[in-house]
Chain A
Amino acid sequence: MAETTFDATTLWLLIVAAGVGTYLIRLSFIALFGLLDEVPERVERALRFVPAAVLSALVVPDIVFADSTLALSLGNTKLFAGTLAALVAWRTENILATLVAGMGALWLLEFFF
């Protein structure tokens, strides 16, 4: 693995700059909300779709990719485990149950195949 040539000062500068910027991104709308007189209605409607769109965009690639290639085949155990977990999530709406079903299915499939 490559070793960095950065000295301590450069690393600190980098970490603090990245950290402060990331914090400001987090703070952005939380701080602005209420300062703005009114959130535009269009924005408010769009925000309703943030959880569904963002979570799906986070989850789906993790399930359908194996070793960064698309794996929609029987060999992809995460596809089975993910589908089962989705069914459990739908029936129970419970995070722990979904986690147990998904991890359990993955472990079993990995063990047997």
Chain B
Amino acid sequence: MSSPRADFLSGVRVAAPILLGVVPFGMVAGVAAVGVGIPAVQALAMSVIIFAGASQLAAIELVGRSAPVVVVVLTVFVVNLRMVMYSASIAPYFESESPRWKAALSYFLTDQAYAVSLLEFENDPETSRRWYYLGVGIPLWVTWQAATIAGIVLGAQLPAGWHLEFAVPLVFLAVLVPAVTDRSTGAAAVVGGTAAVVAHGLPYNLGLVTAAVVGIAAGLVVEEVAGEKATDETNETNETTNDAEGGH
């Protein structure tokens, strides 16, 4: 049987290799922030308060150009829009948590924490959701802050030849492959990935959000056509599935 402590630690164990990829990314955030003239305290505050790497880098770029504050803030929101999907996707697993816990857990919602935790939640219903997720999320948080500080202090001394940043997509790949379990999830992955390549040039990370939406749509279409999972997934609502056709 699982205990909170054991579940937290198994989260930590899974998070450990991911930290490898987070370090260079966090350092870049620190280096870039001081590079555009953001003081050290505010550079660290960005990592603590915003805690979302891609959006921080976008904000830093715009701050460097002294863009209007509203534009900077809106850019951060747009880059982080994908988290709406994570929030919706992981919400059922946090349903029994108190509002206070929900508020605390939300702060740790990142690409990595989402991907890894969801995989575990789907595979093992016995795991304590809260503690496993925190086991993944807290080391990520600590590493992100430490890496930012290292970047602020050390400046641009990253060993680029190590390609440590490649660890991040590899972790997502490790979670993605087992998530493809049938034709419809396969279609979501293929179409989502292809659309992301096509939409790569869109500003503010909009390519990612667009690709995700297109991928989800492709999954729904294939599911509809192939009739997969229609019975075991949603047995009580499944009569309404067929006549809800086009009714949105």
Contact = CB atoms under 8 A, between A and B. Distances in A.
A75 to B, nearest CB: 15
B170 A103 contact: yes
Given A12-B42, A31-B103, A53 B216 contact: yes
Interface string A1-29: 11111101011111111110111011111
Contacts of A60: 192-194, 196-197
Interface in B146-172: 161-163, 166-172
Nearest to B87: A29
A35 B241 CA distance: 23
A33 B99 CA distance: 11
B170 A85 contact: yes
| Majority secondary structure of chain A interface residues (helix, strand, loop or mixed) | helix
Interface residues of B, number: 107
Contacts, number: 294
A2 B64 contact: yes
A25 B87 contact: yes
Interface residues of A, number: 77
B73 A99 contact: no
Interface string B74-86: 0011001111111
B212 to A, nearest CB: 5
Interface string A53-64: 111111111111
A89 B161 CA distance: 24
B66 interface: yes
21 contacts: A11-B38, A14-B59, A19-B46, A32-B91, A49-B215, A49-B216, A49-B220, A50-B216, A51-B115, A54-B208, A55-B172, A56-B192, A57-B195, A57-B212, A59-B169, A59-B172, A60-B192, A60-B194, A62-B169, A82-B169, A98-B177
Interface of A: 1-6, 8, 10-19, 21-23, 25-34, 39, 41-65, 68, 70, 78, 81-82, 85-86, 89-90, 93-99, 102-103, 106-107, 110
